[in-house]
């Protein structure tokens, strides 16, 4: 058991509880910060956090709770929660060892590097991102099944049942979900099964109304009763393959049967005495995170001060270099040699640091590699879990775009991802608005597409410190970077670490995007004078995190205030 919390630590932040039960051991669910002694889940929807915390309270471990939470999000948070997508899980065990589960989608067997070209032979954004060919072979159910088989403690059926109930009996639509669904309703008209599932006979759901998803409930029942086979074989697989044939996609029942999640060694680094445990390729997240932290370690960041032009400049220059290397080297390690050890070494950071001028911006040079110019949305989701034994689980998973491909499998009730869009568009393609032209991340049979998702765990002296992560495409890596710096260099409270404003630079386009409030306009003008192109953003990331007070063992769940539905559930 973790030790009890101290009043001193609690004084650092505000506690809010919306549904505390009379039973003192009951789960507290809150859209604000929750402190607890025995277990915690923080996710993008209250029902999902509660489902996970209930599993913990019933004796399940953090992996069990992560599975229950992930499946509940597939029902309650359809924009990103999923069984038709994929993602990553980083696990740290109470003895300090760690592992990672890779359930990233794969390209189907028919895939090839030129599959996103139109009939005219030109690259087609539409095919790449919004078609049946944009759908990767889903990995979520296989990932959860693998995590459960190796590290779970509870009965699989009990972990799936809460999501079955949420889909079958329905749940209250929040204001955020109502707004989100209303905004997509017209686009869903082209996808009849999606339009039917997410509207009331064509009318938008209002906040507080009950959303029932019967086909999804039936699919989840098959997963509950048959485990991964309930998704990758039989009825579910047949329905998915039939939809592919109908829409010109390439995923077959064979692709589904062959899909395997992988257990991988996490990327590990250190930052000023803290241990960083994060996701290895096929995510670029952990590698770029450790690379940037190594560069920043050579500067007195605390003395620069949060929000100062000096700090922003060094942050940007670290990001510029890591994102250049990301574009050049990162891909599925089963298909490419990725130099993770070199990129994450202190020696490499020592080579990079002298290339950073203290008072002038570098220039991003595309050379023969360019990268996408688009800014990223928040249509992924991250959640964090800690159990009473100190086992920690960090999960980021996604459908890629909001509601993925928009394709709901008719009769099976779940949305399919459009993750194939994370492969490079075609060999050698470079464009002004930019796409990466490197070989390593091209679509090939059964290859996984490069990701930026960065589920991360921070420890120190053998003790768990934090479970962190975020959605936001490429901004994810920079959001997680700043969570670590806020914690380690600026010594912010748990609430402050998450609430603090962030910035993002991704090498190309050569511009920084600064969340309003990160710094004053006068300080931003100093950056401009150094040669940085400055843009402002209204929000970056949604980091649903957990922190553990080393002195007392108190577990503090901190939903990101940028998300009105983000919720902590602890007991």
Question: Looking at the annotation, which residues are catalytic?
Answer: 380
CB closer to ligand DON, 310 vs 379: 379
Alpha helices, DSSP H, located in 170-233? 175-188, 192-197, 214-226, 229-232
Task: State yes or no: residue 472 binds ligand DON (CB under 6 A).
Answer: yes
* Size, binding site for ligand DON by CB under 6 A: 15
Q: Taking the complex as a whole, how short is the minimal distance between the CB of residue 472 and ligand DON, in angstroms?
A: 5
Q: Are 557 and 549 in contact (CB under 8 A)?
A: no
Does 456 sit near ligand DON (CB under 6 A)?
no
Which one, 151 or 423, has the nearer CB to ligand DON?
A: 423
Q: Which one of the spans 35-43, 132-140, 446-454, 479-487 is the region binding ligand DON (CB under 6 A)?
A: 446-454
Helices 140-151 and 62-76 sit at what angle, rounded to 10 degrees? 160
> 473 vs 494, which CB is nearer to ligand DON?
473
Report the distance separating Cα 545 and Cα 470, nearest Å.
9
Residues between 370 and 389 with contacts to ligand DON, criterion CB under 6 A: 376-377, 379-380
* Binding segment toward ligand DON, per CB under 6 A, in 222-230, 448-456, 519-527, 549-557: 448-456
Cα–Cα distance measured from residue 103 to residue 142, given in angstroms and rounded to the nearest whole number: 7
Question: Rule CB under 6 A: is residue 332 a binding residue for ligand DON?
Answer: no
Q: Whole-angstrom Cα distance, residue 357 to residue 314?
A: 9
| Rounded Cα gap, residues 496 and 60, in angstroms | 30
105 touching ligand DON, by CB under 6 A: no
- Smallest distance from ligand DON to CB 103, Å: 12
User: Which residue lies nearer to ligand DON by CB, 159 or 453?
Assistant: 453
**Near ligand DON by CB under 6 A: residue from 215, 400, 549, 565:** 400
> Nearest distance from residue 282's CB to ligand DON, in Å?
9
CB of 44 to ligand DON, least distance (A): 12
Cβ at position 100, least distance to ligand DON in Å: 15
**CA 327/CA 507 separation, integer angstroms:** 9
Is residue 398 close enough to count as binding ligand DON by CB under 6 A? yes
Between CA 398 and CA 393 the distance in angstroms is 17
Nearest approach, Cβ of 412 to ligand DON (angstroms)? Answer: 22
Cα–Cα separations (whole angstroms), residue 247 to 111, 119, 133, 411: 16, 17, 9, 15
Closest distance of CB 250 from ligand DON, Å: 19
Asked if 571 and 38 count as a contact pair (C-beta separation under 8 A), the reply is: yes
In the list 113, 404, 471, 570, the residue contacting ligand DON (rule: CB under 6 A) is 471
**Beta bridge partner(s), residue 19:** 29
Which of 344, 451, 456, 567 forms a contact with ligand DON (CB under 6 A)? 451
* Three-state DSSP string of 234-276: HHHHHHHHHHHHHHCCCCCHHHHHHCCCEEECCEEEEECCEEE
Residue of 294, 452, 479, 482 interacting with ligand DON (CB under 6 A): 452
Within 416-435, the residues that bind ligand DON by CB under 6 A are: 419, 422
* CA 359 to each of CA 277, 310, 385, 490: distance values in angstroms, whole numbers, following the listed order: 32, 8, 41, 22
Window 7-46: contact mask with ligand DON (x via CB under 6 A): ----------------------------------------
Q: Which is nearer to ligand DON, 471 or 557 (CB)?
A: 471
> Where would I find the beta strands (DSSP E) of 449-562?
456-460, 463-468, 503-504, 512-515, 534-537, 545-548, 555-558
d(CA 414, CA 103): 17
Measured from the CB of residue 470, what is the shortest distance to ligand DON in angstroms?
Answer: 8
Whether 237 and 225 have beta carbons less than 8 Å apart is answered as no
| Cis bond before residue 282 (omega within 30° of 0) | yes
Between 115 and 352, name the residue whose CB sits nearer to ligand DON: 115
Looking at beta carbons only, is 52 or 472 nearer to ligand DON?
472
Tell whether residue 560 is a contact of ligand DON (CB under 6 A).
no
Q: Which of 148, 308, 156 is nearest to 226 (CA)?
A: 156
In whole angstroms, the minimum distance from the beta carbon of 452 to ligand DON comes to: 4
Q: How far is CA 255 from the centre of its chain?
A: 24
CB of 475 to ligand DON, least distance (A): 8
Q: Which of residues 475-534 bind ligand DON (CB under 6 A)?
A: 476
Q: Give the interface segment with ligand DON, choosing from 14-22, 257-265, 335-343, 466-474 (CB under 6 A).
A: 466-474
Residue of 473, 559, 566, 570 that binds ligand DON (CB under 6 A): 473
Q: Where are the alpha helices (DSSP H) in 406-553?
A: 475-488, 494-499, 521-530
Can residue 453 be called a binding residue for ligand DON (CB under 6 A)?
yes
Q: H or E segment at 462?
A: none
- Residue 479 structure tokens: 């959001």
Q: For residue 323, give the H/E element and its range.
A: helix 309-329
Using a 10 angstrom Cβ sphere, with 0-12 exposed, 13-18 middle and 19 or more buried, the burial of residue 302 is: middle
Which positions lie near ligand DON, rule CB under 6 A? 376-377, 379-380, 398, 400, 419, 422, 451-453, 471-473, 476
């Amino acid at each position: 058991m973790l030790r009890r919390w101290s009043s001193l630590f609690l004084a650092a932040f505000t506690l809010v509880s919306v549904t505390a039960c009379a039973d003192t051991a009951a789960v507290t669910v809150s859209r604000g910060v929750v402190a607890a002694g025995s277990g915690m889940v923080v996710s993008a929807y209250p029902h999902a956090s509660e489902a996970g915390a209930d599993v913990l309270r019933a004796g399940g471990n953090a992996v069990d709770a992560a599975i229950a939470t992930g499946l509940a999000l597939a029902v309650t948070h359809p924009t990103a929660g999923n069984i038709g997508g994929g993602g990553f899980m980083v696990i740290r065990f109470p003895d300090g060892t760690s592992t990672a589960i890779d359930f990233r989608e794969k390209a189907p067997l028919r895939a090839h590097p030129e599959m996103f070209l139109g009939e005219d032979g030109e690259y087609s954004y539409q095919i790449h991102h919004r078609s049946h060919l944009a759908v990767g072979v889903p990995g979520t159910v296989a990932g959860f099944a693998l995590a459960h088989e190796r590290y779970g403690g509870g009965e699989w059926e009990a972990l799936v049942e809460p999501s079955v109930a949420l889909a079958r009996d329905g749940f209250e639509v929040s204001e955020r979900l109502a707004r989100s669904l209303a905004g997509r309703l017209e686009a869903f008209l082209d996808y009849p099964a999606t339009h039917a599932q997410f509207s009331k006979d064509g009318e938008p759901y209002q906040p507080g109304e009950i959303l029932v998803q019967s086909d999804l409930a039936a699919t989840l029942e098959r997963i509950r009763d048959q485990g991964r086979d309930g998704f990758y074989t039989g009825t579910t697989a047949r329905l998915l393959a039939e939809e592919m044939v109908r829409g010109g996609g390439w995923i077959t029942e064979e692709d589904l049967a062959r899909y395997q999640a992988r257990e991988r060694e996490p990327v590990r680094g250190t930052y000023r005495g803290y241990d960083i445990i994060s996701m290895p390729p096929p995510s670029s997240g952990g590698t770029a995170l450790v690379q940037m932290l190594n560069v920043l370690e050579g500067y007195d960041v605390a003395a620069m001060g949060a929000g100062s032009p000096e700090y922003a400049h060094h942050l940007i220059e670290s990001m510029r270099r890591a994102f250049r290397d990301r574009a050049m080297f990162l891909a599925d390690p089963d298909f490419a040699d990725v130099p993770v050890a070199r990129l994450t070494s202190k020696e490499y950071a020592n080579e990079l640091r002298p290339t950073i001028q203290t008072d002038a911006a570098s220039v991003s040079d595309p050379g023969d590699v360019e990268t996408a110019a688009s800014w990223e949305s928040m249509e992924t989701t991250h959640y964090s879990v800690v159990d009473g034994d100190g086992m920690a689980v960090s999960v980021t998973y996604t459908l890629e775009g909001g509601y993925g491909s928009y394709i709901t499998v008719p009769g099976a009730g779940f949305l399919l991802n459009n993750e194939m869009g994370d492969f490079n568009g075609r060999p050698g393609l470079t464009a002004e608005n930019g796409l990466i032209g490197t070989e390593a991340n091209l679509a090939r049979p059964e290859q996984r597409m490069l990701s930026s998702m960065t589920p991360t765990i921070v420890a120190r002296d053998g003790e768990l410190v934090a479970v962190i992560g975020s959605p936001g495409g490429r901004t994810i890596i920079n959001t997680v970077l700043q969570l670590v710096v806020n914690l380690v260099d600026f010594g912010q409270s748990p609430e402050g670490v998450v609430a603090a404003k962030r910035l993002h630079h991704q090498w190309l386009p050569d511009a920084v995007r600064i969340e309003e409030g990160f710094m004053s306009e006068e300080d931003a003008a100093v950056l401009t004078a150094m040669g940085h192109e400055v843009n402002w953003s209204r929000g970056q990331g949604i980091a649903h995190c957990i922190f553990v007070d080393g002195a007392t063992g108190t577990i503090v769940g901190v939903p990101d205030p940028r998300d009105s539905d983000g919720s902590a559930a602890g007991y």
